[in-house]
Structure 1
Amino acid sequence: MSAQTLRASAGSSFGRAQVHAVAGCYFVASFAALGLPPYLTEILPELGDRHARWAGVLYVVPTVFGALGAPLWGRLADRYGRKRLLLRAQLGLAVSFLLAGWADSLTAFTLALILQGILGGTFAASNGYLGAALAGPALSRALTLMQGSARAALVVAPIVVGSLSGWLSPHRQYALLAVLPLTAALLLAALPEPAAPAPGRTAPATEDGPPPAVSLRTLYALEFAFVFSTVISFPYLISLVEDRLPGTSPTLSGVLFALPHLCYLVSALAVHSAFRERPRAGIALGFACIALGLAGHALTHSLYGLVAARLVLGAGLTLGLVCLSVLAADCAGGRPPGGMFGSLEFFSKAGAVVAGLAAAAGSARFGPLAPVLTGGAVAAVTVVVSLLPAPHARPLRSRRCPR
């Protein structure tokens, strides 16, 4: 059987089960990456930083180095194979988690987090893998499912880590949880190397095809603005809740933090069906909900008002993530997916890093209201910009992935 026949067979066999396997492996591998950073204030005193002064810096270290490495790993995936680079990302996480769990000094722990950022990148690698086998609505639905995996891990992982901390310190849990990305790599090894979608399943972008809904630069700008306006409210939400509702229990604060992510898990697929043909309207509505939700955080002084504000923010989070997935799938047509999704991950992580820095600076100077007001202002401006008539986009020329 020829190599071309094997690739065609792999592409035709790539369906819902394979998509769910990739999303499930990302969920499993994300536990340590998303569940342990909230416990840095408990980890660092064991490593000599008695007052955990470096917690804020170390929180963003993997994100910074992940952003720097994502475009390079994406281009290498297009050249050497998406499955191979996805396996590399999972194994890279396993190695970095082991080193973090075994670190006996702040320097060694910091180096392990740097390696986590450089060697990881499982989200971009997974999206590039899916982008090589799917396109159009099938790809945007798969990307929506991937975001669901990220939201689920963000909600579940800190709870599991907290539950285990009575038996094993969060620091040593890094080494224990290294088995998860290793298991994910073993499961992914059974999946096929994705081939281009079969004719008839998708509409490839060509000179005669319709232009994408937004340009690639616009997609990157929307991704940055979306991540900035949502993430900026995360670090100091608990402080804001305590300021607005003194005496709130940690459990209730955790539920309030999780509400927007739970909204996504409940409604993402329904939103995808409703807005997959009009993603620009959905993204504008999403930013409007984000602006209103963050404004509600600043204005309310009651539990019911705060719940309502979190739910409105959840609606914006869901609309934004889903419609960005649709726009990304649209832009991916005719492009090497590894490079495109790697660059998209760079702008996403850059937005998170800038949001974290802005939240820290604003909160230190103006208090816990500053992050939500800043995020709301950015979201409101983005609504206005996204509603402006888009310049006519040039049809994409058919591109070949480098061999």
Structure 2
Amino acid sequence: MSLDTLPRRAPGVALDRGQVHAIAACYFVASFAALGLPPYLSEILPGLGDRDGHWAGLLYIAPTVFTALGAPLWGRLADRFGQKRLLLRAQLGLTVSFLLAGAADSLPAFTCALVLQGFLGGTFSATNGYLAAALDGAHLSKALTLMQGSARAALVAAPILVGALSPWIDPHRQYLVMAVLPLTAAVLLGFLPEPTRQAATATATATATASRAGVRAERAGDPPGSLKLLYTFEFAFVFATVISFPYLITLVHERLPGAGAAVAGILFALPHLVYLVAAGRVHAAVQARPRTGLALGFALVALGLAGHAPAHSLPAFVLTRAALGLGMTLGLVCLAVLAAEAARGRAPGRMFGTRETVSKCGAVAAGLAAALVNSSGGPAAPVVTGTVAALAAALLALLTRRSTR
């Protein structure tokens, strides 16, 4: 998506378009191993003593859990010691954990490496905190939308690359190769400026002003910059979308027996491809009315998920995945706009660290719920559960939109 030249945010250091794109590229390359290798855990674990890959499900979410635990701590340290330093720490933390994972020769050692990957990583919240310290308003929400685009692109491309390399390099040892990526990102980020935050007295003044306005805000409804609602929507959105991921391939093969792995993979990636194509236009459309766009996004997510249950043909799956992708695009972009509003007058590290924790908790809850309902209702049950969650969130977004007019 296009980013205009970004204005100076006194007394901080603003980032121009090229620098924001460089940050997005660094996040993209650092995400490769984190997103591309976990789908191959069932192939990695037999070589570490887990012959049947029983631990694959638990290890899949281990980095997510420890990212959620570590993000608030790293966010507070970023506000204290500088956003750039903690972003570099996150990239170097990924480098170390990937090297340990690639060199591990036992299941306990590999598990410890994945735990460290989660705790020492957190590049998404660190990147967002860095951006929020330098940008504001629409420029920040555009940058956050671009970061989500980097994540979607890595989610699509990384598993394909890992699979293509597998005949020559075992997926386990690919961790060693992929460690070069966050290390390279850290070197590139070292050339970017360190954004400075407003003095503590200015922050305290803003906080006091917000407190005095609290009673009026409560009477008028939750303000657009409310953290409570932002975190609620974040959790609900991640839960509703991620719950369809674990058993989608199984559902496709059940409904489309003749479909090969390539077709299933394309269907899995389709919503993320929709985001890459449409995010820029969607941002321009919803920037002034993010609550309305968020409600529509949740409604489209519900429609897309609900369409999975009766789908029994390839065109039906393509339509439902496209609807889910459009809903995902609206949701992610509107959440970026709301996060940019909420970041005004707040310490960015702590806010985005907490947001990361909420997001990861939503992903873990979605994974556990998917496993639970799949065991009792089959591979279509997770999408039905996600439909209910998305509809409830759409209703909440509509109600809060009306209360803030």
Q: State whether residues 103 and 176 of structure 2, in contact with CA within 8 Å, keep that contact through their aligned partners in structure 1.
A: yes
| Distance in 2, Cα, partners of 1:388 & 1:131 | 28
Q: Which amino acid aligns with 2:261?
A: P
Q: Return closer, same or farther for 1:366/1:334 CA change in 2, 3 Å cut-off.
A: same
**Counterparts of 1:118-197 in structure 2 under 5 Å?**
118-196=119-197
* Offset of residue 195 of structure 1: 3.0
> What SS is found at the alignment partner of 1:247?
coil
> What SS is found at the alignment partner of 1:225?
helix
**Counterparts of 1:256-267 in structure 2 under 5 Å?**
256-267=267-278
| Distance in 2, Cα, partners of 1:165 & 1:81 | 39
| Distance in 2, Cα, partners of 1:359 & 1:371 | 5
| Distance in 2, Cα, partners of 1:70 & 1:390 | 29
| Distance in 2, Cα, partners of 1:303 & 1:154 | 22
Q: Which amino acid aligns with 2:56?
A: A
Match of 1:244 among 255, 269, 272: 255
Residue 89 (structure 2) aligns with: 88
* Offset of residue 190 of structure 1: 0.4
Q: State whether residues 46 and 52 of structure 2, in contact with CA within 8 Å, keep that contact through their aligned partners in structure 1.
A: yes
Q: State whether residues 11 and 197 of structure 2, in contact with CA within 8 Å, keep that contact through their aligned partners in structure 1.
A: no
Quick one: percent identity of the two aligned structures?
A: 66
Q: Which amino acid aligns with 2:397?
A: S
Whether 1:232 aligns to 2:243 is: yes
Residue 51 (structure 2) aligns with: 50
Whether 1:11 aligns to 2:13 is: yes
| Distance in 2, Cα, partners of 1:277 & 1:134 | 18
| Distance in 2, Cα, partners of 1:214 & 1:238 | 38
Residue 355 (structure 1) aligns with: 366
| Distance in 1, Cα, partners of 2:303 & 2:103 | 45
* Offset of residue 332 of structure 1: 0.3
Q: Deviations over 1:333-353 (max 9, x none)?
A: 000000000000000000000
* Offset of residue 389 of structure 1: 4.0
| Distance in 2, Cα, partners of 1:234 & 1:260 | 11
Structure 1 stretch 361-370 or stretch 141-150: which is displaced more? 361-370
Residue 285 (structure 2) aligns with: 274
| Distance in 1, Cα, partners of 2:44 & 2:274 | 31
Cα RMSD, aligned residues only: 1.9
Q: Which amino acid aligns with 1:375?
A: G
| Distance in 1, Cα, partners of 2:302 & 2:225 | 22
| Distance in 2, Cα, partners of 1:382 & 1:148 | 23
Residue 38 (structure 2) aligns with: 37
Residue 389 (structure 2) aligns with: 378
Q: State whether residues 291 and 401 of structure 2, in contact with CA within 8 Å, keep that contact through their aligned partners in structure 1.
A: no
| Distance in 1, Cα, partners of 2:285 & 2:382 | 31
Q: Which amino acid aligns with 1:301?
A: H
> What SS is found at the alignment partner of 1:18?
helix
Q: Which amino acid aligns with 2:257?
A: P
Q: Return closer, same or farther for 1:9/1:17 CA change in 2, 3 Å cut-off.
A: farther
Whether 1:253 aligns to 2:264 is: yes
Q: State whether residues 19 and 192 of structure 2, in contact with CA within 8 Å, keep that contact through their aligned partners in structure 1.
A: yes
Q: Deviations over 1:243-264 (max 9, x none)?
A: 1111211001000000000000
| Distance in 1, Cα, partners of 2:135 & 2:58 | 38
Structure 1 outlier segments of 4+, above 3 Å: 7-10, 204-212, 389-393
Q: Which amino acid aligns with 1:18?
A: Q
Q: State whether residues 225 and 343 of structure 2, in contact with CA within 8 Å, keep that contact through their aligned partners in structure 1.
A: no
Whether 1:290 aligns to 2:290 is: no
| Distance in 2, Cα, partners of 1:166 & 1:154 | 21
> What SS is found at the alignment partner of 1:130?
helix
> What SS is found at the alignment partner of 1:314?
helix
| Distance in 2, Cα, partners of 1:63 & 1:332 | 24
**What are structure 2's unaligned runs of at least 5 residues?**
1-8, 199-205, 218-222
Q: Deviations over 1:157-177 (max 9, x none)?
A: 000000000100000000110
Whether 1:104 aligns to 2:115 is: no
| Distance in 2, Cα, partners of 1:104 & 1:362 | 35
Q: State whether residues 287 and 320 of structure 1, in contact with CA within 8 Å, keep that contact through their aligned partners in structure 2.
A: yes
Q: Return closer, same or farther for 1:49/1:18 CA change in 2, 3 Å cut-off.
A: same
> What SS is found at the alignment partner of 2:64?
helix
Q: Which amino acid aligns with 1:83?
A: K
Q: State whether residues 238 and 359 of structure 2, in contact with CA within 8 Å, keep that contact through their aligned partners in structure 1.
A: yes
Q: Deviations over 1:69-88 (max 9, x none)?
A: 00110010000000000000
Q: State whether residues 48 and 106 of structure 2, in contact with CA within 8 Å, keep that contact through their aligned partners in structure 1.
A: yes
Q: Which amino acid aligns with 1:11?
A: V
Q: State whether residues 10 and 192 of structure 1, in contact with CA within 8 Å, keep that contact through their aligned partners in structure 2.
A: no
Q: Return closer, same or farther for 1:123/1:355 CA change in 2, 3 Å cut-off.
A: same
> What SS is found at the alignment partner of 1:316?
helix
Q: State whether residues 214 and 390 of structure 1, in contact with CA within 8 Å, keep that contact through their aligned partners in structure 2.
A: no
| Distance in 2, Cα, partners of 1:35 & 1:390 | 38
| Distance in 2, Cα, partners of 1:364 & 1:9 | 55
* Offset of residue 182 of structure 1: 0.3
* Offset of residue 214 of structure 1: 4.7
> What SS is found at the alignment partner of 1:327?
helix
Residue 368 (structure 1) aligns with: 379
Q: Which amino acid aligns with 2:352?
A: F
* Offset of residue 365 of structure 1: 1.6
Q: State whether residues 268 and 318 of structure 1, in contact with CA within 8 Å, keep that contact through their aligned partners in structure 2.
A: yes
Q: Which amino acid aligns with 1:296?
A: G
* Offset of residue 392 of structure 1: 6.8
Q: Which amino acid aligns with 1:387?
A: L
> What SS is found at the alignment partner of 2:332?
helix
* Offset of residue 388 of structure 1: 1.0
Q: State whether residues 12 and 197 of structure 2, in contact with CA within 8 Å, keep that contact through their aligned partners in structure 1.
A: no
Q: Deviations over 1:309-328 (max 9, x none)?
A: 00000000000000000000
